[in-house]
Amino acid sequence: MIIVRDYQKIARFRTIGQVTSFAGMAALLGGMVLIFVGDPEDVLWVQLAALLVGWVLSQVGIYFANRYLRRPRPDEVLDEALAKAAKDGRLYHYILPTPHVLLLPSGIVVLIAKYQGGQISVQDDKWRQSGLGLRRFFGQENLGNPTKEAEHHIGLMANFLKKNAPDVAEVPMAALIVFTTKGLKNLDLKGSSIPALHYTKVKGFLKQQKRDKMPPTDYDAIRAAFDQKAGHLVEDAEAAA
C-alpha cells in the first residue's frame, strides 16, 4: 500500500493546537485570578470575557490536539488497520478535500476517523455518546453525527472528481466510519446506515466486500487527479513504500 501524507500540514496544525491550548489555559487562569484582584464590579466583565475566550481557545486546541498531537494520530491508526487489508491501495492523508481517502482498483473509500471514547451507540442514524462525565465538557470533542459527516465528505469528494477527473462518468465510492481509539469496547454501531466499526475490524470487513474493478482508464484518471493534488509528496511516498 502506498501512503501519501502531508507531514508539513500535520506539523502546522500541531503547532496551532499547542499555541491555542496554551493560550486558552492562560486566558482561563487569568480569568480566575481576576476574582482575587481589584473590585469585583470593575473586573466582572473582563473576567467573563477572559473565561469565554479561554474556553473557546481550549476547544480549538482540543480539536487540533486530538487530530495532530495525540499519538498514535488517527492517520497512523488507519495505516495500521489498512496495511494488510488494502495492499493494492493508495491511502491519502490530509491531501484531498476530506482528510483520509483510500483509492482501490475497485473504487474510493472515504474514511471518517473518530477517536471519541465512552459508550457509543447509534439507532436509525441517531448517535449517542455517554459515560464521559466531565470529559464531555473538557478534554474531548463532541461525537456529533458521523453518518451526516460521512455523507458530507462523500459530497466533497464527488465535487472534487467532477472538477479534476471530469471524464470519469461514474465512480464507485463509499464511506467507512472508523473508531480509532485503542481499547474502545463499548460500541453498538449496527444502527448506522453507513458502515461503522472499530479499527481492529477494518481488515475483516474489507475482505468480506465483493468488489469489481473499475475500468483501468477511470482508475488512472482518478489516481492522476489525486496525485496531482499531492504533488511531490507522491514521489516521497512511492520511494518509501
Q: What would the grid cell of residue 229 be? A: 493534488
Strand runs labelled E in the chain: 2-5, 90-93, 100-104, 107-114, 119-123, 126-130, 173-179, 187-188, 196-198
| pTM for this prediction | 0.89
Count how many Cα atoms sit within 13 Å of the Cα of residue 30 in the half-sphere of its side chain. 18
Q: What is the mean pLDDT of residues 132-151?
A: 75
Between 112 and 55, name the one with better pLDDT.
112
Q: What is the DSSP letter of 67?
A: I
Query: What one-character-per-residue DSSP string does 120-137 give?
Result: EEEETTEEEEE--GGGGT
Average pLDDT, the chain: 89
Q: What is the pLDDT of residue 5?
A: 97
Min mean pLDDT across 36-50, 156-170, 196-210 is at: 36-50
CB-hemisphere CA count at 13 Å for 29? 6
- Is the confidence at residue 134, as pLDDT, over 60? no
pLDDT confidence band for 137 (50 / 70 / 90): low
Closest by Cα among 143, 140, 142, 153 to 194: 153
- Residue ranges per structural domain of the chain: 4-69, 73-240
